[in-house]
Structure 1
Amino acid sequence: MKQTKSTPRVWFITGASSGLGLEFTKAALSSGDKVVGVARNIAPLTELEKRYKTTFKSVKLDITERVSVFEVVEEAINHFGKLDVVVNNAGNMVLGMVEEFTEGDIKQQIETNFYGAVWVSQAVLPHLRKQKSGHIIQISSIGGILAGPMTGIYSASKFALEGFSEALAQEVSHFGVHVSIVEPGGYWTNLYTNMQFTTIHEGYNPVREFLETQNDESKDSHPKEAATALLKLIHNEKPPLRLILGSHVFDAAIEHELSKVKTWKDWETVSRSAEKAIPHPEN
């Protein structure tokens, strides 16, 4: 199914009631598209439903509940007849040293940031494959490219998201379905205001003291800027697998990747010496 300018797209956006998700929703609706916005708390979406009575539908959903995800996706398709753009945006952040995390802390982070996106992707794919079109957008983070002190588990969830999405992109490209991993930098959203922290282990006080001495010159942006970029992404006929949002994180990502390449090159001799093909041992 070829998308034309005159044909409104139908979006399915998770975490649509605040932050980036809310701006994505507003941008899509303002452009004339239709949106199903899902969130655990849909009260902030009431005004949008009044304003866009025929093009917007909000649904309460906990994306960590797989059965509910499949039910809501079916409801969305029954309501608007199709889906074109799926934005896995819902997420949370718990910061702390790896040793400080409880089992519950880790599960909460992984279930929302990783499993939720997997469930939504699985739920929409039968429909996208059948119509031979569609665009799944995974909202990752600069934390999906590099990790630092206190971001270990958050980055683990985003690394997992990026790994499965990279494989997914290759699997579904045969059906005309695109997958893009969006890696935003700093935006003024409630991801930070609702951010949680682990219980502090005093043994890591020196690390925290060191981190406090580091100067962070980055300045966060309004999430509208990310929404504008997202519209450019979905209107491109050949969207990229990855898209970084923000100059500060763009530079940080390039520097990080170049550092990785340098390390690989420095240890190239050892790496290559560790391989010597032999016949299968059972033969």
Structure 2
Amino acid sequence: MSKIWFITGSSRGLGHRIAQAALRRGDRVAATARDTRALADLVADHGDAVLPLPLDVTDRAAAFNAVQRAHDHFGRLDVVVNNADYALGGAVEELGEQQLRDQLETAFFGAVWVTQAALPLLRAQGSGHIVQISSLSGVVAHPIMGGYAAAKWALEGLTESLAQEVAPFGVKATLVEPGAFATDVTSSAVLATPIDVYGPTRQDVLAQLTNSKAGDPAAAARALLRIVDAEKPPLRVLFGAHAYEFTQHVYAERLKSWSEWAYLSTEADGA
């Protein structure tokens, strides 16, 4: 049976590719963007199968309205994808208060508002799948990306709780954690005012990004189709070979560190 999707941040990047992949296999999509003119190609190619909706996810009332409009139009929602996002770059000392708040408003609170809007509808129909587009930065924080990582770690914790809360109602939740992909993420990035002492660290991070093999967002979108079609989808899934290999190494180091300091656990208990 074809699915009805609600996808935020559909104007470009991974969100646009997810919408294309769903539409090409015969699903229908409520695609949102701040400027719906960016969705013109989807409408031209797929006609009435696309419902373009204007949405700034930081506006809670607008998020609730858009989700309800999509549900009213199609009669149900099967997959809700929270993809709207941008990257905030800067060392922790460099980050401005408003920059941090704006990052959290989009990457975290925006996903919360859409999720809250969709949940009563999904519970009522006894099915549905909420997909949060997180990041490798939601698993492993990198230097110069602390603000972005903070938003993604918040989304990860919220969604882990969510998955347990909604399972009894037949609703599923998945965190997608992509590594580096060939999208235009840098075009929307916000950079903090630099402090010279962090220059070498910044250069190291840029060099790593430049040398990383970027994944294909179209392939990632096709992989997501398999996840939403699965009877028992994962809570977390890494996208990209580099992300999987890197995370294995990081978790091995974490386990090693916890083991080395495990004796403090009993001391902390007063045992």
In the alignment, does 2:184 pair up with 1:190?
A: yes
Matched with 1:259 is: 253
Taking a change above 3 Å as real, the CA distance of residues 47 and 162 of structure 1, as seen in their structure-2 partners, is same
Taking a change above 3 Å as real, the CA distance of residues 36 and 148 of structure 1, as seen in their structure-2 partners, is same
Q: What is the aligned counterpart of 1:15 among 2, 9, 15?
A: 9
Structure 1 unpaired stretches of 5+: 1-6, 278-283
Q: How does 1:104-123 map to 2 (within 5 A)?
A: 104-123=98-117
Larger radius of gyration: 1
For this pair of structures, how many residues does the alignment match?
Answer: 271
Tell me the TM-score normalised to structure 2 length.
Answer: 0.96
Output the amino acid matched with 1:104: Q
How far apart are the structure 1 equivalents of 2:250 and 2:204? 21
- The CA deviation at 1:213 is 6.6
Q: What whole-Å deviation, never above 9, does each CA across 1:59-90 have from its counterpart, x for those lacking one? A: 01000000110011110011000000000011
Secondary structure of the residue that 2:177 maps to in structure 1?
strand
Q: How does 1:112-191 map to 2 (within 5 A)?
A: 112-191=106-185
- The CA deviation at 1:217 is 3.9
How far apart are the structure 2 equivalents of 1:176 and 1:143? 29
Q: What whole-Å deviation, never above 9, does each CA across 1:182-213 have from its counterpart, x for those lacking one? A: 00011111212322211111232343355567
Output the amino acid matched with 1:153: G
- The CA deviation at 1:258 is 1.3
Matched with 1:42 is: 36
Taking a change above 3 Å as real, the CA distance of residues 24 and 211 of structure 1, as seen in their structure-2 partners, is closer
Give runs of ≥4 in structure 1 deviating > 6 Å.
Answer: none
How far apart are the structure 1 equivalents of 2:51 and 2:57? 17
Structure 2 unpaired stretches of 5+: none
- The CA deviation at 1:216 is 5.8
Output the amino acid matched with 2:163: A
Output the amino acid matched with 1:154: Y
Taking a change above 3 Å as real, the CA distance of residues 73 and 210 of structure 1, as seen in their structure-2 partners, is closer
Tell me the TM-score normalised to structure 1 length.
Answer: 0.92
Structure number with the higher helix fraction is: 2
State the Cα RMSD in Å.
1.5
